[in-house]
Amino acid sequence: LMDDSLIPRFAGRNAAYYARAFAAIQSRSGPVVSFNPVAAIFGPLWAGARGFRSCFFSFAFWTSWR
C-alpha cells in the first residue's frame, strides 16, 4: 500500500520514526487514536504566538469557562 522509499524524502532525518508510525497505522483496522500531551499543552500558546488568534482565544475561553 505504501512506497517506503518516499518516507525519507518526507521525513528527512526522522525517517525511522515515521516508518514505524506509518507501519503501525497500516497494521491496525479502524481508527488510530493517539495523544500528544506536549501539543495539547503548548499548542494554544504556539497558535497565539503565530497569529492564530481565534484558536488561541477559543482555547482560553473554553478553559476559563469550565
pLDDT at residue 14 greater than cutoff 80: yes
pLDDT at 36: 75
25 and 48 inside one domain: no
| Domain membership of residue 65 as a residue range | 36-66
Residues 29 and 51 in one domain: no
Same domain (yes/no): 26, 52: no
Would you say 14 and 7 are in contact if contact means Cβ atoms under 8 Å apart? Answer: no
- Please return the burial class of 47, using the count of CB atoms within 10 Å of its CB with bins 0-12, 13-18 and 19+: middle
Q: Specify whether 20 is located in the same domain as 44.
A: no
**Can you give the pTM of this predicted structure?**
0.47
Is the predicted pLDDT of residue 56 greater than 80, yes or no?
no
The tally of domains found in the chain comes to 2
Cell numbers 518516507 correspond to: 7
pLDDT per residue as tens digits for the range 16-54? 998 888 888 888 888 878 787 887 778 777 777 777 777
Per-residue pLDDT, 29: 87
- pLDDT reported for residue 16: 92
